[in-house]
Structure 1
């Protein structure tokens, strides 16, 4: 059993909600709490809390930093949370995620993994508050960047290039899954139907997946964030580099562009290969487990999702 804090920008790309559901369907992982980042972090926190309730889980959710340290404008799709009624009824923490992260890590140094699947702003803010906090993380799992020959800057790193550079050079043992890996995995109609049938959680998630497909006029999506989290749970489905260092371009048109350099003194490794079909199946199965293993305890939120 590994204990994990999820740091997420849930609500725009549906893959964050898929990742949260996947974690809740992973019996080898203890989800300690969820932190939200980037933009309307209160709304994101309410949405995360709603998804936990749909799975019958009582999970603490803590809103975090709204504005990127980089000063870059927040990208907002406009559909965040629109399929979920009465989100204001969801109880979320009055704390701030960076302070809470420091407190959690101080209480359990070396005992917590962190999965960061949004911009790294909360972590950078936490390290600025308490520089020792970086040394208290057991392992950091990141969805971000792109390390293929022709990859453009990826959204999470581009959105807060300053935070990404600070966090990835803080000496934390880190595994990064980049776009050249996540794009080898897709969720299509057959797997969507299996997710949709997985209780109130699956019905709600299925609706959000369809909304995301409609936003891009597609009939499939790449589960970027679930792929990155599965590298923790099922490492045998991936291959990894040796350790090295990651450099992030700061500012300008190349902002957020990531470069990996092998270095035995470094603390970062990247995912270099993936069994795409098996990973897609494992993601789907874990989401289905989350939706069917527990009865929904939140009344009034599963009425018309089926």
Structure 2
């Protein structure tokens, strides 16, 4: 039967539609494609992993997400040499041994290193570990205005950076940090009237460095106690620890060491440090308000009149952040 003009139009339309679907398939690739390298957020994570357990969960969430280009992980505060070993072991388990680990300035630290035995399971490095201060400055200069520093520790490394090279520090895109207490403190549960702010651990541990950071002029995004009292309850812990993946097994071991050695009698961890990581992955999970925060001599972070020096998250999406953690880790079963 000869092809009519209408049939020809239909055939051409069909070919165009097929070509479009084919192109989309090529762009998408098989399964869920990783984001293009140029679209991934360049981050460095500064952490005092090993004392509290929240750093381990925060790092697990970050290492599990393809939207982050993790340039390096830096060990901060206290026994930074042992923290390097713990980070190297965790990165190896995550299949990310290629991520550089560097060592920040060691400090005095009265907080128990609850995961010491787990960290000691990693052999001591055979070669000297690079300096975190040198590494962060190098990356900030290499990628000016592109590197987000996620700060999960007392800001001792950041203070050393500012002292060494304030102009180099200013080349960071921003610092996204867990720290401070604006309207809510450790005694607030999230229910009922607020009991008021209290000095927060990261800030009061190194008040001098915190003051330098908040007056540095580098863009700050701050997750204080107001938005970081995020509890990982027993049901969620059991789901994670039953998954039996290398990462969830590692988290289970570190959790049980923390549980028995934390000195506070805590069983349910508070995932303070997960919130800054979640914010970098999806800012909708922790909307911010511009505030001017002043660091006091006792470690207070008090709102003050004047131009804002920080974007501050005062209320987080608890379930959204926990969903991000749970779905990310359980998807690897």
Quick one: which of 281, 287, 290 aligns to 1:239? 287
What is the aligned partner in structure 2 of residue 300 from structure 1? none
Q: Distance between the aligned counterparts of 2:128 and 2:258, measured in 1? A: 28
Q: Secondary structure at 1:88's aligned position in 2?
A: coil
Offset at residue 262 of structure 1 (A) = 5.9
1:113-164, Cα deviation, whole Å (9 max, x unpaired): 0000101111111111111123211121000011115121111001000000
C-alpha contact (below 8 Å) 1:227/1:279 kept by paired residues: yes
Question: Could you say which structure has the larger radius of gyration?
Answer: 2
Would the alpha carbon gap of residues 204 and 198 (structure 1) be closer, same or farther in structure 2, given more than 3 Å must change? same
Normalised to the residue count of structure 2, the TM-score between the two structures is 0.79
Q: Secondary structure at 1:204's aligned position in 2?
A: helix
1:83-124, Cα deviation, whole Å (9 max, x unpaired): 355322556762211121111111111111000010111111
Q: Distance between the aligned counterparts of 1:220 and 1:41, measured in 2? A: 26
Quick one: which of 297, 308, 323 aligns to 1:266? 308
Most deviating of 267-276 and 158-167:
267-276
What is the aligned partner in structure 1 of residue 327 from structure 2? 285
Most deviating of 201-210 and 163-172:
201-210
Would the alpha carbon gap of residues 137 and 198 (structure 1) be closer, same or farther in structure 2, given more than 3 Å must change? farther
Would the alpha carbon gap of residues 166 and 202 (structure 1) be closer, same or farther in structure 2, given more than 3 Å must change? same
What is the aligned partner in structure 1 of residue 57 from structure 2? 18
What is the aligned partner in structure 1 of residue 85 from structure 2? 46
What is the aligned partner in structure 2 of residue 248 from structure 1? 295
Quick one: which of 225, 230, 236 aligns to 2:273? 225
Q: Distance between the aligned counterparts of 1:231 and 1:281, measured in 2? A: 13
C-alpha contact (below 8 Å) 1:36/1:45 kept by paired residues: yes
Alignment: residue pair count: 279
Would the alpha carbon gap of residues 167 and 85 (structure 1) be closer, same or farther in structure 2, given more than 3 Å must change? closer
Normalised to the residue count of structure 1, the TM-score between the two structures is 0.85
Q: Distance between the aligned counterparts of 1:182 and 1:84, measured in 2? A: 26
Most deviating of 161-170 and 185-194:
185-194
Cα RMSD after superposing both structures? 1.9
Most deviating of 83-92 and 20-29:
83-92
Would the alpha carbon gap of residues 225 and 33 (structure 1) be closer, same or farther in structure 2, given more than 3 Å must change? same
C-alpha contact (below 8 Å) 1:62/1:92 kept by paired residues: no
Q: Distance between the aligned counterparts of 1:287 and 1:75, measured in 2? A: 32
What is the aligned partner in structure 2 of residue 160 from structure 1? 206
C-alpha contact (below 8 Å) 2:82/2:120 kept by paired residues: no
User: In the alignment, does 2:112 pair up with 1:77?
Assistant: yes
What is the aligned partner in structure 1 of residue 31 from structure 2? none
User: In the alignment, does 2:300 pair up with 1:257?
Assistant: yes
What is the aligned partner in structure 2 of residue 118 from structure 1? 153
Q: Distance between the aligned counterparts of 1:99 and 1:117, measured in 2? A: 19
Q: Distance between the aligned counterparts of 1:90 and 1:205, measured in 2? A: 22
